[in-house]
Amino acid sequence: MLSLSSSSLLRPSLHCRASSSDRSLGRKLFCCSMAPATKFHNLSKLEHDSDVLIECRDVYKSFGDKHILKGVSFKIRHGEAVGVIGPSGTGKSTILKIMAGLLAPDKGEVYIRGKKRAGLISDEEISGLRIGLVFQSAALFDSLTVRENVGFLLYESSKMSENQISELVTQTLAAVGLKGVENRLPSELSGGMKKRVALARSLIFDTTKEVIEPEVLLYDEPTAGLDPIASTVVEDLIRSVHMTGEEDALGKPGKIASYLVVTHQHSTIQRAVDRLLFLYEGKIVWQGMTHEFTTSANPIVQQFATGSLDGPIRY
Ligand SMILES: Nc1ncnc2c1ncn2[C@@H]1O[C@H](COP(=O)(O)OP(=O)(O)OP(=O)(O)O)[C@@H](O)[C@H]1O
């Protein structure tokens, strides 16, 4: 994989126009979205877990004296659509960043397709599983147009021509319901449009490559702040890119093997995911199918599902 400095020789204008902080973020997005590079050892894999794409095993994470994750364990299998829910500040975004390789756990392990990740992502290492993280804030580069934002990874690292990339960007934007916005800057978009541009950026990939690795997408509150209809559009988009054998908005089979959505929105839980993980006080305290959520006898889940002030969760 090319680093930004070497690839800048290929596309100098794009590289120069992104600020240094943008480039630093781009470097992280680049690694995270295209190939979350990781060092692996322990190649052994349990036979019955051959469909597990990502596993967090007894993960701990503290920030100073705030102990956020205290032994989080779960598995994401091929084909799953999983939601992560739980009270604010409980560590949902933190666990996504750990899964994507942007943060290291203090203790515990992350396994990618049965192989233990030894470090954070870096340019030189390839995992065989792409992990894309769609940030809560959309995290677009302010100084780049929508076309440059969506095509960023391809401009930086692929051998595709400018015309090929431009065409693919237009197709991918159309797939997320956006037309004629390629030349706009992020500041000229609404919040919902920015989220869709971020989604397009996470979906685009080099179509000239012979082997396309499976991808897991991690969405951090993709519908936060959207009106109910815009939420439904995004929820359906998330479903449509899932590799279920169905056709996506471009009329092609979805390309995302599995996805994980952090959300507080009831509609997103109901519409976009099949299974839920409930994170509370540093651990997964409940997991089950979405339809089991409202009938669970677990008092923590009951309180969260009803929004009641009475119960074990204290604010
Ligand atoms: N880099 C950091 N440095 C210090 N504290 C952090 C850092 N990242 C997260 N935290 C703290 O860790 C806790 C968990 O944050 P996180 O964003 O993971 O929670 P969350 O469950 O996603 O919250 P929300 O639902 O409100 O988005 C918070 O108290 C937050 O302030």
The residue ranges of every structural domain in the chain are 4-306
pLDDT of the chain, 315 residues: tens digit per residue? 222 222 333 344 555 555 544 444 443 443 333 333 233 333 344 446 778 989 999 999 999 999 999 999 999 998 899 999 999 999 999 999 999 888 999 999 999 888 888 666 654 444 567 788 887 777 788 889 999 999 988 888 788 889 999 999 998 898 788 899 999 999 999 888 888 898 888 878 777 776 666 688 899 998 887 888 888 888 888 887 776 555 555 455 556 788 999 998 888 998 999 999 999 999 999 999 999 988 888 998 888 888 888 888 887
Q: How far does the centroid of ligand 1 lie from the alpha carbon of residue 91, in Å? A: 6
Residue from 139, 112, 106 nearest 36 by CA: 112
How far, in Å, from the CA of 137 to the mean position of ligand 1? 14
State the helix-helix crossing angle for 191-203 and 20-34, rounded to 10 degrees.
50
89 lines ligand 1 (CB under 6 A): yes
Atom of ligand 1 nearest to the CA of 221: 27
Whether domain 4-306 has CATH 3.40.50.300 = yes
Which pTM value belongs to this model?
A: 0.78
- Asked if 45 and 18 count as a contact pair (C-beta separation under 8 A), the reply is no
Output the CA 158–ligand 1 centroid distance in Å: 34
Find all residues with CB under 8 Å of 145, minimum gap 6, and list them: 182, 183, 184, 185
Spatial distance between the Cα atoms of 81 and 83, rounded to a whole number of angstroms:
7
Pairing relation of β-strands 52-63 and 130-134?
A: unpaired
- Ligand 1 pocket test, pick from 63, 133, 279 with the greatest ligand atom count within 8 Å of Cβ, gives 63
Q: Is the CB of 92 under 6 A from ligand 1?
A: yes
Contact 152, 14 (CB under 8 A): yes
Phi, psi of 62 (to 5 degrees): -125, 150
| Interval between CA 197 and ligand 1 midpoint (Å) | 25
Instruction: State the ipTM, two decimals.
Output: 0.97
Ligand 1 binding pocket includes 91 (Cβ within 6 Å): yes
